[in-house]
Amino acid sequence: MAALHVIILGAPGSGKGTQAARLASEKGLRHLSTGDMLRDAVAKKTEIGLRAAEYMREGRLGPDEIIFALMREALAASEGSGWILDGFPRTLAQAEELDKMLIERGERIDYVIDIAVDPELIVRRLSNRRVCPKCKAVYNLDTIRTKVPGRCDACGAEIVKRPDDEEATIRKRLRVYEEQTAPVIEHYRARGGLVTVDGSGGIEEIFAEILRAMK
Ligand code: AMP
C-alpha cells in the first residue's frame, strides 16, 4: 500500500497538534509540525531559530523562505514514509508551493482534515494550555492536568506556558488564521477530499471522528 499523506488544518488551539500526534502513532506516520521544528530551532539558537523567535513571540507568520526550507528538508528526510503535515500550509502561497514540491516528488495528498472550533473556546483552551519543553507533551489546567502539579507526567520536567499563549497573542494568532489560513481550506475544498471535523468535543471523540472520516 502507498504511504499515507495527510494534512491537518485548524486554528491555533483547535487541537490539531494533539490529533496529528495521535494519528501519526495510530497509522505509523511521521508527524511534520513546522511549529515544533521552529521551536526546536529557537531552543537550539540556530540561525533559523534566531530569525523565527521574534515572529513566533508576536504571533505573526514566519518568512516563507525559512518555512519552505524546513519543509523541503522534512519531506526529503521522510522519503518513502507516510506523513501528516501540522501547521503547514498556512497561506495560499504555501499551499501552492506545497503542490509544486509534491509534484516534483511524485507524491500526493490522500486526506485534508479541517478541525473546526469556536474562537472563544479556543481562547479559553490556549490560555490554560501548558507544554513540556523537554518531551513536548501537552496539558491543560482545566482538562488535562498533570499528576504532580507543574511537572510533566511523562518526563518530570517543569511544564510551561508557551510565550505565544498569552491572551493578546492568542487573539492576534486567531486573526492571522482567519485572514491567511482560512483561504487554504477553500483551496482544498475546491479540489475535493476535504473532511471537516467538529473540534469542540474531547480528544477521544474528535480522534474517533477523524478515523471515521478516513475510512
Ligand atoms: P504552531 O505551533 O503551529 O501554532 O506555530 C507556532 C508559530 O510558528 C506560529 O504562530 C508562526 O509564528 C510559526 N509558524 C509555524 N508554522 C508556520 C508556517 N507554516 N508559516 C509561517 N509561520 C509558521
| pLDDT in single tens digits along all 215 residues of the chain | 679 999 999 999 899 999 999 999 999 999 999 999 999 999 999 999 999 999 998 889 999 999 999 999 999 999 999 999 999 999 999 999 999 999 999 999 999 999 999 999 999 999 999 999 999 899 999 989 999 999 999 999 999 999 899 999 999 999 999 999 989 999 999 988 899 999 999 999 999 999 999 88
* Ligand 1 atom closest to Cα of residue 16: 3
In-domain check, residue 133: no
In-domain check, residue 65: yes
> Residues with catalytic annotation?
16, 90, 129, 162, 173
d(CA 19, CA 196): 13
d(CA 3, CA 48): 30
**Which of 90, 91, 97, 177 has most ligand 1 atoms within 8 Å of CB, for mutation?**
90
Q: Supply the residue whose CA is at minimum distance from atom 8 of ligand 1.
A: 35
pTM: 0.89
Q: What is the CATH number of the domain that holds 26?
A: 3.40.50.300
d(CA 55, CA 115): 24
Give me the residue label for grid cell 523565527.
Answer: 52
In-domain check, residue 23: yes
In-domain check, residue 146: no
d(CA 190, ligand 1 centre) in Å: 24
In-domain check, residue 9: yes
* Ligand 1 atom closest to Cα of residue 86: 3
The region, left, alpha or beta by phi > 0 then psi within -120 to 50, assigned to residue 80 is left
In-domain check, residue 78: yes
User: Which residues constitute the domain of residue 195?
Assistant: 5-118+168-213
Copy the grid coordinates of residue 110. 490522500
In-domain check, residue 77: yes
Q: How many domains does the chain have?
A: 1
In-domain check, residue 159: no
d(CA 35, ligand 1 centre) in Å: 5
Burial of 102 (0-12, 13-18, 19+ CB in 10 A): middle
Question: Which residues line the pocket of ligand 1, CB cutoff 6 A?
Answer: 12, 34-35, 38, 55-56, 59-62, 67, 87-88, 90, 94, 164, 173
